[in-house]
Structure 1
Amino acid sequence: MGIFGRREEVQTVDVENVPVDPGVAERLPDAGDFLLRNLSDLPASSLRELAAEIERVRHPNGSITNRNLDGVGVRDWRSGPLTNLVWITAADWIITGVWASFGLSGRDRRQVERTAETIARGQGVAAAATWALRARPEGRLRIESLASQLEDSHSEWYGKLTNGDVIKSFKKWRRQPG
């Protein structure tokens, strides 16, 4: 039984390649755009290089995913400003999993949370949110709630970056060839 009095039916939905609902994607914050907006005082050439690097690591569905940032550490200055993106998105998959399982209990909660986290890490938050909304059509999931939590998280983690972190990430950046 869920916390709302009756057991919610969780639908079986394919998790391998979740087609992102454009309505969901447009209502969620984009961490790459967030980073570019917050670093907008940098020289135009640096911003163009950063924008190209962010595009390089995007999933084909347009999302920033943990899987595409696997080789970048939180203080991996050789990876350049992508290390700042890793820092900002560190909690995205956890937030998404908790949001997706809101109102469930027991095995259903654990299964939905784990599945949403896996999708978020591999296909992005928008794919995980799309999956959760399809898997839980009777759920009380509000995409605005997820968007707000992600925005708050991005702002909080960005606030922990220092000017020195940003400068160091650009100075020690070993750019990808080609």
Structure 2
Amino acid sequence: MRTALSFLYRAAEMLGALFLVLIGILIVSQVFARLAGRMVPGADELAGYCMAASFFLMLGPALRRGAHIRVGVLVERLRGGARRAMELACLLFATALTGYFAFYWLRMTWDSYDFGDVGQGILPVPLWIPQAAMGAGLVILVVALLDDLLAVLRGRPASYETAAMQSEG
């Protein structure tokens, strides 16, 4: 199971990075097109879709690496069972809230597909395509949160805590 989860997180990270590269390609092509007195139709909106996909796909891997900004003012002052209970409560709340958002985001994505919604820019991009990438990122974040919730329930530290310990040296 750990191998499959690691593959999922790594695949999401690689896809997110790919979308960042696509943003760079779109920007560079737009610059060269302008120098030639031309324009790349829809480059701005495609770059926006790529940015959203990249951001959402990297949410889960960022959690696992401890890269999210966490305000641990209260949790860091607690020790032992109180800290574990607070960590569990935070993870449970975050998992439930993210799961709620993921469910309704995927529902909206299905509606966009079902209704044939397209972007209002120059290119009639079916909206379900960028929405699906964002929904996948939310689902991967839910999986990462569940992964950490189960780890803490089993008495192990959450991934973001071990990542922070490794980065501190």
TM-score, normalised by the number of residues in structure 1: 0.26
TM-score, normalised by the number of residues in structure 2: 0.27
The structure showing larger relative contact order (alpha-carbon pairs under 8 Å, at least 6 residues apart) is 1
